[in-house]
């Protein structure tokens, strides 16, 4: 029975998972219609709000692709380890994730340094691509 529940849980999370690199069209296909659209000044980006399953997803687009994602739960239940693993796998880009020790929050970094993921209080996470971090810091290496 536990295996069936895990398969269903992973399938639901997989549908609502956050994905760096998606286009807006792919994001709409994955999460449904855009609930709200905003413009970010620093870095200059289009930001779209989606809700899928038990998640609220803010997707920030640079050059037409998702470069950063802020995902939070709509209920007070924190992300499970299984949910975090599914999200990391979807955003691995073929690399592996390693956890970096922090007292206040959990941070994961991809082995190719292509992205980081920070999990705060278990109910919100931020995934930032290297491109997003460079744009945010005013660098132009991309």
- For 58-87, write each residue's pLDDT tens digit: 999 999 999 999 999 999 899 999 999 999
Which band of pLDDT confidence, cut at 50, 70 and 90, is reported for residue 2?
low
Q: What per-residue confidence (pLDDT) applies to 5?
A: 46
Bridge-based pairing state of the strands 115-120 and 36-40: unpaired
- For 122-141, write each residue's pLDDT tens digit: 899 999 999 999 998 875 55
Query: How large is the average pLDDT for residues 47-66?
Result: 96
Query: How large is the average pLDDT for residues 44-65?
Result: 95
3-state helix, strand, coil in the chain (%, to 5): 30, 35, 35
| Full-model pTM | 0.83
Query: How large is the average pLDDT for residues 85-102?
Result: 94
Q: What per-residue confidence (pLDDT) applies to 42?
A: 84
Distances, alpha carbon 131 to alpha carbons 49, 59, 80, 113, 117, in Å: 20, 14, 28, 11, 14
Rounded CA separation 128/125 (Å): 10
């Amino acid at each position: 029975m536990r295996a069936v529940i895990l398969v269903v849980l992973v399938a639901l999370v997989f549908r609502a998972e956050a994905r760096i690199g998606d286009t807006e069209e792919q994001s709409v296909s994955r999460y449904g219609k855009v609930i709200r659209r905003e413009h970010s000044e620093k870095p200059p980006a289009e930001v779209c709000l989606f809700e899928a399953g038990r998640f609220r997803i803010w997707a920030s687009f640079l050059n037409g692709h998702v470069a950063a994602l802020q995902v939070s739960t709509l209920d007070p239940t924190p992300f499970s380890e299984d949910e975090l693993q599914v999200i990391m796998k979807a955003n691995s880009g073929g690399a592996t994730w390693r956890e970096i020790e922090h007292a206040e929050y959990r941070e994961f970094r991809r082995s190719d340094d292509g992205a980081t993921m920070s999990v705060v209080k278990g109910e919100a996470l931020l995934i930032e691509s290297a491109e997003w971090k460079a744009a945010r810091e005013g660098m132009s290496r991309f």
